[in-house]
Structure formats: structure tokens, C-alpha cells
Amino acid sequence: MSDLLKKGFLLGLGAAVTSKEKVEKYFQELVSKGKLTPKEADDLYDSLLKKGEETGDRWNRRSKERIHNLLTDLEMVSKSEHKELQDRVEILEKKLNDLSEKQEEK
């Protein structure tokens, strides 16, 4: 499953890099044709970049929510819940061992 997520991430990253290069090339063409000034191209590029980051942030939040809901539906425990239960078991084992030792001493 982790390999699938990694491949998906790398695919998305590759698409983003390719798209960025195409956008930069397109803006350079518009500037060279005189349809945009370099300042306008920079402003438009910054605006698109900001919108892309906002969309990415929203996508990340939604993805995290979906994963959290899926794990909750599957009744899986979180890492912190697992650690807490593990600590409790260790405490109980220690108490049990102590009681067992006291029983043997009698």
C-alpha cells in the first residue's frame, strides 16, 4: 500500500513539474509577443502559484480527513492510542509479576 501511495505522489509531482514548465514557457511566449509585460506575467504566475498552493492545502486537508474517517470506520487505533495501551499492559504485567513474587514468598 505504501508503494502505491509513493508512486501516486511521484506521478503527481511529475505532472506538477511538467505543468510548471509549460506555464513558464507559455508566459515567456506571451511576453515575447508583447501580449503581456514581464511584470504582468510575474503577477499572473504568482497568482496561479498561490491558487495552486491553496488547492493543494485543501486537497491535503480533505485527504487527511478521509483517511482519518476510514481508519475510524475500520476501528483502527492511532499510534498514540497503541502506545498508551502498550504502557498500560506493561504496568499491569509488572503488577502481576510483583503479586506473583509475593505469593511465592509466602
**What are the distances in angstroms from CA 4 to CA 8, 58, 65, 92?**
6, 22, 19, 40
Interatomic CA distance for residues 52 and 55, integer angstroms: 5
All structural domains of the chain with their residue ranges: 2-75, 77-106
What are the angstrom distances between the C-alpha of 95 and each of 7, 90, 99? 47, 9, 6
Asked if 25 and 45 count as a contact pair (C-beta separation under 8 A), the reply is no
Q: In this structure, are residues 74 and 82 in contact, taking their beta carbons and an 8 Å threshold?
A: no
Per-residue pLDDT of the chain in tens (106 residues, 90 and over written 9): 567 666 676 667 666 767 778 878 888 888 899 988 999 888 888 888 888 888 888 888 999 999 889 988 999 888 999 999 999 999 999 999 999 998 888 7
